Amino acid sequence: MTNLLPDGKATEKPLIILVSSGYHLYREYLLDLVSGAAEVWLFLSQEPTWEKRYIVGHTVVDTLDVPAMVDAARELAARHRISGVLCWDEVRMVQTAEVQQALGLPGTAPEDVARCRDKHQTRVALEAAGVPQAASVLVSSLEEARAAAERIGYPVILKPRALGASFGVNGVDDADGLEAGYAEARGAEEDGVPYYDAGVLVEEYLTGEEISVDAALVDGELKPLFVARKISGFPPYFEETGHTVDAADPLLTDPRLLDVLARAHRAVGYHTGITHAELRLTDDGPKVIEINARLGGDLIPYVGSVASGIDPGRVAVEVACGVRPDTAGTREQVAAVYFLYPERDCTVAEVTVDETALAAAVNAFGVLGGPGQELLLPPAGHVTSRYGYLVVEGATLAACEQAAETARRAITLRTR
């Protein structure tokens, strides 16, 4: 069906609202892909800059203010046919669901999206439904944390109730480390995230490989897109230093994993949208760590598209419009992203790339550190500790690792 753009031109693409664009070094590729599948009207809190080439219009609005966004969306819908509302910003997922609901567009109810945002609510819902997960206790003080850790048994994981990207998450081996671990989790905060008096979860330490699954859902039908196997570093913190994706990963069709994923989504009430679920593959089977109501970060959807040929932007648009997406891949490769960290805390003088020395298997690379930028390793820093990344592809994981090892030498960090 033909739609009219703000300039009066006709288009066959759906017109969608995108709430916030995110950090361009991690999300520009996604806006590029989305703009290939839809005409994008951007809601953001300041005038767009790098986004302009991908959008047909924008509204400057406080994207944490639901009434203001709903008013702006209704005003836009009075002039143009809006087919869907999309967001990949963790902090703004509930607000986006409110806009979807106000316009009568496809999506999951705000209270169910909030159940994913709040890790305690997630735990309660999964427990009620009997979904395999880590034992978890919500606490509001160090004394309560001590009692919970003794009850669960060391080692334990301490995590903030509503933050993302593993921020503030740390492992504690014994009672001697609990005070510092609790302070780390309790002190973590982010703009736009509610403060809870009971704001820390003490959880069972699950052993086994950690994975994430990006999946598309329309009316409760779940289709996995990519399984990413995590590379972690900087213990006792769970810094994600890389991810690998195999388009032929047997987990994509593993009945036990798919059953756990489907039951978990039903338990939290999430039925339409894109999710990024994190799980541990324990000796007792897959267990849920969390469910995020958005596409994965850390370039995981890009790596997945390199490996499989699935276009995450197109899939996200189709789901936002209530269309069951085509999730068939067009290639069977292995791809990986590796993030580059300094050996110690430092200040960047410059990051240089010798492109002639990059391995042939390098699909993409990026510089994340600029002159004068402080790179502080965990726990003082987080993903902001990275000064670059490499995306590599190959027939096997070993080929990717070899290519990345060669390519790392082509990216040089000079410090002050």
Mean pLDDT of all residues in 360-383? 92
pLDDT at 378: 87
pLDDT at 243: 97
pLDDT at 247: 97
Mean pLDDT of all residues in 385-410? 95
Helices (H) and strands (E) in the chain, counts: 11, 21
* E strand residue ranges, 178-325: 200-204, 209-218, 221-233, 239-246, 273-282, 285-292
Please report, as a single letter, which amino acid is at residue 151: R
Burial state string for 51-87 with b = 16 or more CB within 10 A and e = fewer than 16: beebbbbbbebebeebeebbebbeebbeebebbbbbb
d(CA 289, CA 396): 28
CA 97 to chain centre: 17
| Structure tokens, 280 | 């541990």
E strand or H helix at 258, and its extent? helix 255-268
Q: pLDDT (tens digit, 9 = 90+) per residue, 32-55?
A: 999 999 999 999 999 999 999 999
pLDDT at 160: 86
pLDDT at 9: 60
Scan for tokens 């989504």, then name that residue.
265
pLDDT at 235: 82
State whether residue 281 is helix, strand or coil.
strand
| DSSP letter assigned to residue 237 | B
pTM (predicted TM-score): 0.92
The crossing angle, in degrees rounded to 10, of helices 300-308 and 24-37 is 50
d(CA 168, CA 133): 20
d(CA 409, CA 398): 18
E strand or H helix at 248, and its extent? none
CA torsion angle 102 107 109 113 (round to 10):
-120
d(CA 177, CA 158): 11
Mean pLDDT of all residues in 137-146? 92
Q: pLDDT (tens digit, 9 = 90+) per residue, 266-311?
A: 999 999 999 999 999 999 999 999 999 999 999 999 999 999 999 9
pLDDT at 196: 67
Q: Do 41 and 61 form a contact (C-beta atoms < 8 A)? A: no
**Residue 397 predicted with pLDDT over 80:** yes
**Residue 191 predicted with pLDDT over 90:** no
d(CA 78, CA 297): 33
**Residue 167 predicted with pLDDT over 80:** no
pLDDT at 7: 56
The mean pLDDT value of the chain amounts to 93
Q: Between β-strands 39-44 and 3-4, what pairing exists: parallel, antiparallel or unpaired?
A: unpaired
Mean pLDDT of all residues in 132-154? 92
d(CA 78, CA 98): 18
pLDDT at 181: 87
Percent of the chain with pLDDT over 90: 81
Q: Model confidence at 185, in pLDDT bands (50, 70, 90)?
A: confident
Taken as a whole, the chain contains a residue count of 416
pLDDT at 81: 96
Q: Model confidence at 2, in pLDDT bands (50, 70, 90)?
A: very low
Which are the contacts of 17, defined by CB distance < 8 A and separation ≥ 6? 41, 42, 43, 73, 76, 82, 84, 85, 86, 99
| Structure tokens, 328 | 């068939």
Which domains can be identified in the chain, with CATH numbers? 6-105 (3.40.50.20), 110-133+207-332 (3.30.470.20), 135-204 (3.30.1490.20), 333-416 (3.30.470.20)
Q: Model confidence at 168, in pLDDT bands (50, 70, 90)?
A: confident
Mean pLDDT of all residues in 94-111? 98
Q: Model confidence at 261, in pLDDT bands (50, 70, 90)?
A: very high
- Using left for φ > 0, alpha for ψ between -120 and 50, and beta otherwise, residue 241 falls in alpha
d(CA 397, CA 229): 11
Mean pLDDT of all residues in 316-340? 97
pLDDT at 238: 81
User: Mind spelling out the 3-state secondary structure of 10-59?
Assistant: EECCCEEEEECCCCHHHHHHHHHHHHHHCEEEEEECCCCCHHHHHCCEEE
d(CA 273, CA 306): 22
Q: What is the DSSP string of 333-372?
A: -EEEEEEE--SSSEEEEEEEE-GGGS-TTEEEEEE---TT
Q: How far is CA 181 from CA 58, 337, 379, in A?
A: 43, 29, 10
Q: Do 389 and 338 form a contact (C-beta atoms < 8 A)? A: yes
pLDDT at 249: 97
Mean pLDDT of all residues in 83-87? 98
Highest mean pLDDT among 59-73, 134-148, 235-249: 59-73
Higher pLDDT, 161 or 166: 161
d(CA 91, CA 100): 16
Using a 10 angstrom Cβ sphere, with 0-12 exposed, 13-18 middle and 19 or more buried, the burial of residue 231 is middle
